[in-house]
Each structure stands twice: as structure tokens, then as C-alpha cells.
């Protein structure tokens, strides 16, 4: 993820965010396709609801989410963007706890709190550093 953030900020590709996102997803899929074809078992026949779920995951879970991600990369400091990637597993744990009634051990809860605090500290520090930087410009 860090390499993607760095390259996106470094190259400054002059392309609409959703077009850039689409191309990155297509190219990534093309790179993974040979390995998936060679290593994975063939999919069973899919039902209409499974196709609908796959379409939803492809559009909402990948295209829209990555579009928002790349838009954030262009508007936020790199440190702030990179630390936000830590929220993905926290969201998964929280949704599993709330929606699926999964249990959260004391160790997992402690780790959850540490990661959440670290993301908040990085975000606050990033905002302060950005404000101080603008004072000197």
C-alpha cells in the first residue's frame, strides 16, 4: 500500500480519479489472472444472486472505495493517507462484532484500541504539521 501511495503522489498522473482507479484495477486484475487461472480451482456454476453479489463487491467494494482512496491521496498528506489503511481491519473487526455477534477477546480489544489511538495520533500530528507548514509559506 505504501508503494502505491508513494507512486501515485510521485507520478501525478493527470487523469480523472475514477479513470485512474479503473485502469489500476484492470491492470492489477490482468497481472493476477494468470496466477489465479493456474493455481485456483475452477469456480462452480454461479447463481443470479451470486453474480449480483459479485457485481456489488466489484463496484462498491473496489471501484468506489478505491476511487475515494485515490482522491484522498491527492488531497491529504501522505502520512495521513498511509495510516488510514490501518482502519480497514478495524472496520472488519467492528462489523464482525456488531453484525455477526463475533466475540472480541481482551487481547484483540487491546490491540484494536492501540491501533485506533495510533491512527488518531498520526492524523492529529499530520494536521498540526500541515498547519505549521502553511504558516511558513
Q: If you average pLDDT over residues 47-51, what whole number do you get? A: 95
Mean pLDDT computed over every residue of the chain: 81
Predicted confidence at residue 136, as pLDDT, reads 47
Q: Name the residue among 37, 30, 36, 27 with its Cα closest to residue 4.
A: 27
Range ranked top by mean pLDDT from 5-9, 13-17, 18-22, 87-91 = 87-91
65 band by pLDDT with thresholds 50, 70 and 90: confident
Residue 59 has pLDDT above 60, yes or no: yes
Q: Which of 34-38, 67-71, 110-114, 129-133 has the lowest mean pLDDT?
A: 129-133
Predicted confidence at residue 106, as pLDDT, reads 92
- Asked whether the beta carbons of 93 and 112 are under 8 A apart, the reply is yes
Residue 1 has pLDDT above 80, yes or no: no
Predicted confidence at residue 119, as pLDDT, reads 85
Range ranked top by mean pLDDT from 19-23, 31-35, 73-77, 125-129 = 31-35
The torsion angle over the Cα atoms of residues 42, 44, 45 and 51, rounded to 10 degrees, is: -90
Amino acid at each position: 500500500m505504501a508503494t502505491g501511495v508513494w507512486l501515485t503522489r510521485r507520478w501525478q498522473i493527470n487523469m480523472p480519479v475514477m479513470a485512474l482507479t479503473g485502469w489500476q484495477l484492470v491492470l492489477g486484475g490482468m497481472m493476477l489472472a494468470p496466477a489465479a487461472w493456474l493455481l485456483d480451482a475452477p469456480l462452480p456454476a454461479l447463481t443470479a444472486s451470486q453474480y449480483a453479489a459479485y457485481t456489488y463487491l466489484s463496484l462498491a467494494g473496489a471501484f468506489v472505495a478505491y476511487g475515494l482512496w485515490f482522491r484522498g491521496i491527492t488531497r491529504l498528506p501522505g502520512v495521513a493517507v498511509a495510516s488510514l489503511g490501518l482502519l480497514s481491519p478495524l472496520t472488519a473487526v467492528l462489523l464482525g462484532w456488531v453484525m455477526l455477534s463475533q466475540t472480541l477477546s481482551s487481547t484483540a480489544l487491546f490491540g484494536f484500541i492501540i491501533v485506533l489511538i495510533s491512527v488518531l495520533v498520526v492524523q492529529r500530528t499530520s494536521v498540526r504539521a500541515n498547519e505549521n507548514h502553511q504558516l511558513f509559506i
